[in-house]
Every structure is written in structure tokens, then in C-alpha cells.
A and B are shown apart, each in its own frame.
Chain A
Amino acid sequence: MIKVEERREPSLIVKIATKIVAVLLALGISATIFISYGIDPIYAFSIMFSKSLTLYGLSEVVTKFIPLELCGVGLIVAFKSGMWNIGAEGQLLIGAIMATWVALFLDIPDFTRLPLILTLSMVGGITWALIPAFLKAKLEVNEVIVTLMMNYIASFLVNYLVYGPWKGSKEWGFPYTDKFPESAWLPAIPGTRIHWPTLLIASVVAFTVFFIMFKTTLGFEMRVCGQSRRVAEYSGMNYTKALMVSMAISGALAGLAGAGEVCGIHRRLRYASAISSGYGYSGIIVAWLSGLHPIASLLSAFFIAFLLAGGDILQVSLGLSSGVVSVFNGAILFSLLISEFFGRYRLRWK
């Protein structure tokens, strides 16, 4: 007979092992899908590796790491506080809209432009994130559906702007805004698309968020609220405040990621799916793969960035659709859930 029994507290090694097993399992699932598609999985993975490990390939991985880390670490804060924020994608897009507004339409001295862009993109993300937080805290409205709906709304807003009022005068009918003035460009490492100020912020933020979540009273309160609203309120904590703060952090970081994309890479606003290739959704995987640990998210974001870059490569060289990234994402989440089960329980033969 096989008996399932619960482990007391999974050790760090077990925790790390479950993540590695999950990734391998996900690769296995993806391989099965490749085979059913008539593609040799070893060939597919080897293309992904060989092309990502060139200098250019790596720079693309790092470029994708930036928004993934920003969204992912923000989502960790939200998830830890019990807020299922699926809305990083929308918060990122609103950040991009705000950044574009400052870049193109505000008449301000050049040296204030970038700081204002970064600030207002965060304000945009915060605003977009606080709506579902408020609705959840005050009215118990399901935040998963609201944040998702707000993603759709944000992407249509972007499309409205680039097809309508903000459409560039010199763009021959393409759905782009005019190019940003140079004062609104985030500087990139020469020869790459890596906008390093945002990269720096993303890396520092991981440690800052770790400090806030695990070393401050505020972080403790957010984590308690994430465990149980009732416990939090009985012990005199302000549930609404904790939820709003956690979503503000989450939204601010996603909004910042949006500014990074438009000012660091495109240098103009384009239609929604060109601005973000699902970074907000992949950020969920970053957060979950890290075990909701801000510092570990640096690793998981890098890994997911590698997969996204690999997905791009597969699309070009094997003619696969963009859905391949979604399949990776789904497979990783499922594998994590399954491997966590074996982290929580052990099987005993009797």
C-alpha cells in the first residue's frame, strides 16, 4: 500500500528541488507538445539554447528580464497579501500611456522629463491597481476577474490612442505615436536594447521588496492579511490599508515596466500587443516559480526571460505561433502545483 503523509516543514532543499523538478516536468510537457506537432523536441530546445547563448541572444534575454522582474516582484507583494492580481499587464500598459503623455505632450524642461516619466508611469500603474484592491477590500468583488477585465480595457485604451488622437503625424497611417524626443529616451547599453537604468531599478527593487516584506511591520501585516483577513482584523490590523499598499507597490512596479518598454525599447507608443508580449501574465509565473520570494525572483525572472526569448526564436525558426510562450507558462504553473504536492507530502510504501 502507498500511504500519503504530510511533511512537517519542507526544508529549503526540498523547496528548491521541487522547483527544479517542476521546470523539468514543464520541459517534458512542452516536449510532448512539440512531438505531437511533428517537431523534434531536442532540435527545438537546442535551437533555443544555441541562439540564446550568443551575445545578442543574451542581451535579448536581459532586455526581457527587466519588465518580467518588475512585474514579478510586484506580484509577489500582491500574492503574499492575498490579492490575486492578474492585472500586471494592464497596469504596465497604463504606465506606458502615462510615459507617452509626458514624453510627447508635456512642455517641460528636458532634464525633468525622464524623472517625471518614471514617476507618472508609477502613478498610472498604482491608479489602475488600486481600483480592484478597493473593490475587493470594501465590497468583496472578485479581484481575479476585475484585474483581467482591466487588462482588456487598458489594451483597448492603448489601441484607441495610437489609432486615434495620438496617432503620429509622420507615421504614414501606422498605429504608432510620433517618436519620443531624445530627452525621453532611457539610455541603453551600446549595441543592445538593454535600458540599464531600469535594469538597475529592477534589481535593487528585488532586495528592497525583500526588506519591506520580511523586515518591516508593514510587510508583516501584509503577509498576515494574505493568510487570513479575520486574523488580521482581530489583531487590530487595517486590512484595507494593507491590501491597498500591496497593490500600490504591485501597480507601481508594473507601471514602471511600461515606461521601460516605451522609453527604453520602442521610443514611441505602439498598439498594445507590440508594447507588451504578455509580460504581466508571465510575471505571474516569475512570482510563483520563485516561491514568492523577492530575491529568488531574480533567478526565476531570468529563466522566464530565457524562455520568452526562446519562444521568439522558435516562432521565427520553426514557424510556431506566439501561443508557444503561453503553453510554456501554463505547463510550468501546472508542474509547480504537482511538484509542490510532493514537497508537501511524501509517499510511503508499506
Chain B
Amino acid sequence: MDPVTELISMVVSAGTALLLPALGEIYAERSGVLNLGVEGMMALGAVTAFYLTYLTKEPFLGLIVAALAGVSLAFIHAFISISIRSNQVVSGLALSMLGVGLSSLIGKSLIGVPLKYTISRFEVPLLKDIPIIGGFFVQNALTYASYFIVVLLWFILFKTKIGVYVRMVGENPRAADTAGVNVPVIRYACTLLGGALAGLGGAYLSICYTPAWIEGMTAGQGWIALALVIFSAWNPLYAIVGSYLFGGVRVLQYRLQPYGFSPPLLQTLPYVSTIAVLIVFSSGRLRRRLGAPSALGKPYYRGEKT
């Protein structure tokens, strides 16, 4: 592989860990539910995927369990924000604490354990030989799947009736309700989807990208994914750009190391870049043009209460 293609390949594989959770959060937020628990769902996904793969030697079972772990955490958040209409910010924070804490409890005995069965890379014949773009085709199965997930989620959101419902519920739940859309069902579904994808994002870290279980291995990537949702203007297609941009930052961090930059300072790069991206993309006017869902973070009361 030539150096540029190889670089692209590294960027894409670093970016996938952000892409999956960002896509899930786009759906949750499009339906009006702000879930700040992405970091926790990723952490729990990472540890459960690793554990299951280690036990059963079946990485795909690991992926399924990670998605389920994400869904179960997301369910708590959905219940609190949709059914009992409590504070979504607090609930999301609690979810992050719980998920990260549980992952550390479960993972204690897994630290330093080698994983023989991982989801390994394979090259797509012919496509991998295209210069530059070839980098997209030297990946593992989960990354290939993520390309399809992006297109599928974009298509559903903007080209189907379900997508219209999701966006309606996030923009104006009362109007959606009047039109006969079941607001809680849509919101639950989107929040749970967000959980599944965040869990997969975590699994990607522990059984594909690294692969190992390291305590705190999500290292704030769940929070960066939340920032990417704003960057991507709640559009799955743009999430790809943001994820690979941050994948690039991560690769840059490793590439700069030999030049004598201090590792802890280089480690701040993704976090500084996140703030920079947020400043550029969330300034009020731009944000309104980008179209943040109007009912984001607001519980919906039906009927008697206005």
C-alpha cells in the first residue's frame, strides 16, 4: 500500500469508533431525546463485547451483546426522559457514570488478557487497488458495515415515512401526536437504536481496533461523538466527515510523537479540536440554519398539561 492509502485506511479505522455512536445519537436527538450517556454506553459495550468474545471465542456474539448492553442502558434513559419526563441532562450524566463504573467493575479481571479471536481486517479485491480510496477497503467487517449503516440511516431519515415521523416528533411532538404519530414509541425506538450503535462503537474499540480491554479506553470518545452530532447538523451523511476528521486527529497524534512532542500534550489534541469544532458549528445563527431539532431535550406532555 502506498503511504497515502495507508494513512486513509488508518484514519477510517480510527474514525469508525466515533461514527457508530454519532449515528445513533443523531437518531435519538432527531426524535427529541438528548442522551448524554454515550460514553457510558460505549464503555459498557466495549467491556461486554470483550468479555463475551473472550468466553465464547465468537467475536460476532461479542458485537451482539455489546449492542444489547447499549440498548439496556439506553432503556433506562428512555424511561426517565420519555415516560417520567425527568431531566434529560442529569439522566444522561448518570448513565455515563453508571456505564463507565460498571465497565470498570466488570473489566477488572480482563485487564491485560490477550484476545485471540478478533474481528480482523480483510481487503476487498480490486477496490483496494484504487489509489487513495483504496484505504476505505482495507478494513474490518464492522467498518464495512458502518458504510452501509450510514447510507441506510440517511435514507430512512430523509426518504421514508418513518424518517418523517422521527423528524416530526423531534421538531413538533404536539403536531406529530395530532397527526396520529405515537410520540413515545418513536422516541423509545430512536433512543434504543442510539444505545445499540453506541454499544457497537465500544465493541469496535475493544475487539477490532485495539483489541484489548483497557480501563477507561473510551477516553471521552462518547463525548466527542456528541459534539460530532452538532458538527454533522444531525445528518448521518455528514457524520462520516466529522468522524474521519477526528479519526485523522487521532492518527496525527501518533504521527507527531516521533517529532519530540510530549505525549500528554499530544493527547489533548482531540479534546482541543472538539472545542474548536463546537465553537465554529454551534454559534447561534449557524446552528439554527443547520437545524437543531426544536424539541430537543424537551419532554412531551400529552393532553391536560400544556
Q: Note whether A and B form a binding pair.
A: yes
Is B214 in contact with chain A by the CB < 8 A criterion? Answer: no
* 28 residue pairs from A and B, CB less than 8 Å apart: A6-B305, A33-B105, A84-B89, A139-B282, A140-B282, A141-B278, A142-B227, A142-B230, A142-B282, A145-B223, A145-B226, A149-B272, A152-B219, A152-B268, A153-B272, A156-B264, A156-B268, A157-B264, A157-B268, A160-B264, A322-B104, A323-B100, A323-B101, A323-B104, A330-B96, A330-B97, A330-B98, A333-B91
Shortest C-beta distance, A121 to chain B (Å), equals: 21
> Are B284 and A327 neighbours in the complex by a CB distance under 8 Å?
no
Q: How far apart sit A334 and B274, CA to CA, in the bound complex (Å)? A: 28
**Chain B 58-87 residues near chain A, CB threshold 8 A:** 76, 80, 84-87
> Are B268 and A139 neighbours in the complex by a CB distance under 8 Å?
no
Per DSSP, chain B at the interface is helix
Shortest C-beta distance, B26 to chain A (Å), equals: 15
Shortest C-beta distance, B203 to chain A (Å), equals: 19
Known: A152-B271, A156-B265, A337-B80. A321 touches B215 (CB 8 A): yes
> Are B272 and A281 neighbours in the complex by a CB distance under 8 Å?
no
Shortest C-beta distance, A68 to chain B (Å), equals: 15
Is A325 in contact with chain B by the CB < 8 A criterion? Answer: yes
> Are A330 and B105 neighbours in the complex by a CB distance under 8 Å?
no
**Chain A 289-328 residues near chain B, CB threshold 8 A:** 319-328
User: Which of A145, A159, A321, A341 is B274 in contact with, Cβ under 8 Å?
Assistant: A145
> Are A139 and B284 neighbours in the complex by a CB distance under 8 Å?
yes
Is A265 in contact with chain B by the CB < 8 A criterion? Answer: no
Q: Which 7 A-B pairs have the closest CB atoms?
A: A323-B104, A326-B101, A330-B98, A333-B94, A327-B101, A330-B97, A160-B264
Per DSSP, chain A at the interface is helix
> Are B36 and A37 neighbours in the complex by a CB distance under 8 Å?
no
Q: 0/1 per residue, B185-216, Cβ < 8 Å to A?
A: 00000000000000000000000000000010
User: Which of A159, A320, A321, A333 is B90 in contact with, Cβ under 8 Å?
Assistant: A333
From B102, B230, B271, name the one whose CB has the most chain A CB atoms within 10 angstroms.
B271
Is A164 in contact with chain B by the CB < 8 A criterion? Answer: yes
A315: nearest residue on chain B (CB-CB)? B108
Known: A33-B105, A327-B102. A333 touches B220 (CB 8 A): no
User: Which of A139, A164, A324 is B101 in contact with, Cβ under 8 Å?
Assistant: A324
Q: How far apart sit A336 and B219, CA to CA, in the bound complex (Å)? A: 27
Chain B residues within CB distance 8 Å of chain A: 36, 40, 76, 80, 84-87, 89-91, 93-105, 107-108, 215, 219-220, 223-224, 226-227, 230, 262, 264-265, 267-268, 271-272, 274-275, 278-279, 282-284, 287, 305
A sample of 9 more A-B contacts (CB under 8 A), given A148-B223, A153-B271, A324-B101, is A84-B89, A86-B93, A160-B264, A288-B90, A323-B100, A323-B105, A323-B108, A327-B105, A341-B85
Residues of A in contact, count (CB < 8 Å)? 47
User: Which of A84, A164, A321 is B264 in contact with, Cβ under 8 Å?
Assistant: A164
> Are B101 and A144 neighbours in the complex by a CB distance under 8 Å?
no
**Chain A 179-233 residues near chain B, CB threshold 8 A:** none
> Are A139 and B97 neighbours in the complex by a CB distance under 8 Å?
no
> Are B287 and A140 neighbours in the complex by a CB distance under 8 Å?
yes
Chain B residue contacts of A276, Cβ below 8 A: none
Q: How far apart sit A135 and B105, CA to CA, in the bound complex (Å)? A: 36
> Are A153 and B91 neighbours in the complex by a CB distance under 8 Å?
no
Q: How far apart sit A135 and B230, CA to CA, in the bound complex (Å)? A: 15
Is A338 in contact with chain B by the CB < 8 A criterion? Answer: yes
Chain B residue contacts of A156, Cβ below 8 A: 264-265, 267-268, 271
B101: nearest residue on chain A (CB-CB)? A326
A163: nearest residue on chain B (CB-CB)? B264
A329: nearest residue on chain B (CB-CB)? B97
> Are B90 and A337 neighbours in the complex by a CB distance under 8 Å?
yes
Is A146 in contact with chain B by the CB < 8 A criterion? Answer: yes
Is A331 in contact with chain B by the CB < 8 A criterion? Answer: yes
Shortest C-beta distance, B292 to chain A (Å), equals: 10
Known: A6-B305, A334-B76, A337-B84. A326 touches B97 (CB 8 A): yes
Q: 0/1 per residue, A145-175, Cβ < 8 Å to B?
A: 1101110110011011001100000000000
> Are B105 and A324 neighbours in the complex by a CB distance under 8 Å?
yes
Chain A residue contacts of B283, Cβ below 8 A: 139-141
